[in-house]
Every structure is written in structure tokens, then in C-alpha cells.
């Protein structure tokens, strides 16, 4: 665990544990690598597990002049793999961590041994009237104020949970404490939300290139009670990757690996083991 210098004045905090085939994790918003703790504990006995905190999240720096658009997070993720000398790797993503990591994966698909995706996306947000309204609203002064003063990012995140009984204060405390004030939430979380419009073409370019992973083993784990990325988003990824194996969790929401960690970790472990056996 430590900071990795990416050059050009940028660095990321990275958890790097275990040894063996490499598994790289990419978290979403408004979380950090803490969301992968169950996976790291279970998998690090057989794999080298690398889990960065994207810029502004978790233990990573939060520069005032930092670029917090998704394409910038993607550029840094690709650079991190280069700096760490990661050649071939299994990839596990969630939420915005999908776009952040897919830029590198789609540019060099031959390096990706497998992909596991939890409730994520790889297209412009304006793919429906509802999402177009949300993308427009996210860039308004009203949303800037709400992200800072009302902690709107966490309000939205908690509303996408599945079973309300397991949606506890203890679950969210490690995430909320790293965004303790309005300035930090606006700098990182609102900047990312605002980019839903400005980065639409970049996000759409991911969708256009998803076919590059048509021969890569893909495993989709989806909380069907997710109000942010509902079953229609899963159907869209299954359209792009019809060869993917799928685990549907009817009562889980946007955070399957937080809501049902044992089921999720077991599913990922079995999927990775199958890939290792095929490669042997």
C-alpha cells in the first residue's frame, strides 16, 4: 500500500497485495478502494490484487486544479498499469470504475485476461429522456450547490441500495468521511457528475469499441434492484457481450459486493479459477 507517482505531478494511492496472476480493481463514485476489501481478503492468497484510489477519492491526492472528468481518470488508470509494469491482468470494475478502466482495456484488449463487471455502464448518459434530463441537471448551479451542501452524491447512492435493512450508517462511514466538506464534494463528485454531458462523446466511444473484448471472458454480476443502473443496463451489456456469464441478484441494488459480499466474492473466485484452468 502506498502512493504511486504517475509523472506530470500526479500520483494515486494504491493497495497492492498478494502474489500470482494480476487482478486489477476499479472503483466508482462516491467510493474508493475500500469497496473491494472483501475481494482483496479472499483473493490475495492466490492473486496479486491491485486496487487504486482514483484521483480525489479515498487516500489519493485531491488537487484543486485536478482533472476529474472520466477520460482523465481513464488516462491515469492506463498510466498506472504502465508504471506498475502490469502486462496481462484480470479486471474487476463497478459503477464509474467501468469507464475509468475500459479505456485501457479497449485500447489493448490482448492484455485483458478477463473482465468482471458490477452494475456499470459504457455509453453516454443521454441514452434515454430521463438520463438526458439528469445529465443536463447535473451541470447546473443547483446541482453544484446540492452536491456540496446536501451531499447529494451520497443521497443518490444510498437510494440505489437494495434491502433498506442492510443500508447502515456503518457501511457508509468509510466513504463519507473522505468527503468531509462541501468543497471536497464539489471538486471531485460534482465535477464527475457535471461531465455526464461534456464527456458524452468520450463515453460513447467506449460503447463503439466494446467489440474489442468479444473474445475476452466476461462475467457480469448485477443487483437487479438498482435504480441507477437497472436491468435495462445489464441487457445492454449482454447485447454487447452475448458470450458473458451472468449472476443476477434480485434483491441487491447498486452495490452487490457491499450488500451480498460472500455471494459476490465466491462468484468472482470461481470465474477467475475457470480462467486459470483454461490457461494452464
Helix H, strand E, coil C: the string for the chain is CEEEEEECCEEEEEEEECCCCEEEEECCCCCCHHHHHHHHHHHCCCCEEEEECCCCCCCCCCCCCCCCCHHHHHHHHHHHHHHHCCCCEEEEEEECHHHHHHHHHHHCHHHEEEEEEEEECCCCCCCCHHHHHHHHHHCCHHHHHHHHHCCHHHHHHHHCCCCHHHCCHHHHHHHHCCCCCHHHHHHHHHHHHHHHHHCHHHHHHHHHHHHHHCCCCEEEEEECCCCCCCHHHHHHHHHHCCCCEEEEECCCCCCHHHHCHHHHHHHHHHHHHHHHHHHC
- Is the pLDDT assigned to residue 25 strictly greater than 70? yes
Could you give the CA distance from residue 270 to residue 266 in angstroms, rounded to a whole number? 6
Residue 175 pLDDT:
98
Residue 232 banded pLDDT, cuts 50, 70, 90: very high
For residue 220, is it left (φ>0), alpha (ψ between -120 and 50) or beta? beta
Could you give the CA distance from residue 254 to residue 226 in angstroms, rounded to a whole number? 5
Could you give the CA distance from residue 76 to residue 90 in angstroms, rounded to a whole number? 18
What share of the chain has pLDDT > 70, as a percent?
A: 98
Count the neighbouring beta carbons within 10 Å of the beta carbon of residue 96: 22
- Position with higher pLDDT, 134 vs 161: 161
Q: What is the mean pLDDT of the chain?
A: 94
CATH number of the domain bearing residue 153: 3.40.50.1820
Could you give the CA distance from residue 136 to residue 124 in angstroms, rounded to a whole number? 12
The least confident of 10-19, 69-78, 117-126, 134-143 is 134-143
Residue 134 pLDDT:
76
pLDDT digits (tens, 9 = 90+) for 26-66: 999 999 999 999 999 999 999 999 999 999 999 999 999 99
Could you give the CA distance from residue 12 to residue 5 in angstroms, rounded to a whole number? 7
Residue 277 banded pLDDT, cuts 50, 70, 90: confident
Average of per-residue pLDDT across 190-204? 90
Could you give the CA distance from residue 97 to residue 69 in angstroms, rounded to a whole number? 12
Of 8, 97, 7, 18, the closest CA to residue 54 belongs to 97
pLDDT digits (tens, 9 = 90+) for 102-148: 999 999 999 999 999 999 999 987 666 777 777 777 888 998 999 99
C-alpha cell recorded at residue 220: 457480469
Residue 55 pLDDT:
98
Average of per-residue pLDDT across 150-172? 93
Of 23, 3, 20, the closest CA to residue 12 belongs to 3
The least confident of 91-95, 196-200, 243-247 is 196-200
Q: Which structural domain range is residue 55 located in?
A: 2-279
Residue 126 pLDDT:
62
Residue 59 pLDDT:
97
Residue 1 banded pLDDT, cuts 50, 70, 90: low
Residue 127 pLDDT:
63
- Is the pLDDT assigned to residue 198 strictly greater than 90? no
Residue 164 banded pLDDT, cuts 50, 70, 90: confident
Provide the number of structural domains found in the chain: 1
Amino acid at each position: 500500500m502506498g502512493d504511486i507517482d504517475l509523472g506530470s505531478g500526479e500520483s494515486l494511492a494504491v493497495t497492492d497485495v498478494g502474489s500470482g496472476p494480476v487482478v486489477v480493481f476499479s472503483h466508482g463514485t462516491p467510493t474508493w478502494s475500500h469497496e473491494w476489501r472483501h475481494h482483496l481478503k479472499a483473493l490475495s492468497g492466490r492473486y496479486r490484487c491491485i486496487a487504486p484510489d482514483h484521483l480525489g477519492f479515498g487516500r489519493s491526492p485531491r488537487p484543486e486544479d485536478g482533472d476529474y472528468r472520466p477520460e482523465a481518470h481513464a488516462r491515469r488508470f492506463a498510466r498506472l498499469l504502465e508504471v506498475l509494469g502490469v502486462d496481462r491482468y484480470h479486471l474487476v470494475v463497478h459503477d464509474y470504475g467501468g469507464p475509468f478502466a475500459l479505456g485501457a482495456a479497449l485500447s489493448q484488449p490482448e492484455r485483458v485476461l478477463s473482465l468482471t463487471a458490477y452494475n456499470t455502464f459504457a455509453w453516454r448518459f443521454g441514452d434515454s429522456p430521463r438520463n438526458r434530463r439528469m445529465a443536463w441537471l447535473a451541470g447546473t448551479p443547483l446541482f453544484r450547490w446540492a452536491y456540496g451542501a446536501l451531499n447529494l452524491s451520497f443521497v443518490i447512492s444510498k437510494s440505489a441500495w437494495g434491502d433498506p435493512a442492510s443500508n447502515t450508517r456503518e457501511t457508509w462511514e468509510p466513504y463519507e468521511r473522505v468527503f468531509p466538506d462541501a468543497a471536497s464534494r464539489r471538486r471531485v463528485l460534482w465535477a464527475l457528475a457535471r461531465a455526464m454531458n461534456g464527456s458524452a462523446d468520450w463515453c460513447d466511444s467506449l460503447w463503439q469499441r466494446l467489440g474489442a473484448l468479444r473474445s475476452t471472458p466476461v462475467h457480469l454480476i448485477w443487483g437487479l434492484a438498482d435504480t441507477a443502473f437497472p436491468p435495462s443496463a445489464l441487457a445492454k451489456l449482454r447485447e454487447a457481450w452475448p458470450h458473458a456469464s451472468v449472476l443476477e441478484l434480485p434483491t441487491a441494488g447498486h452495490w452487490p459486493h457491499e450488500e451480498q459480499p460472500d455471494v459476490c466474492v465466491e462468484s468472482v473466485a470461481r470465474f477467475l479459477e475457470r480462467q486459470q484452468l483454461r490457461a494452464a
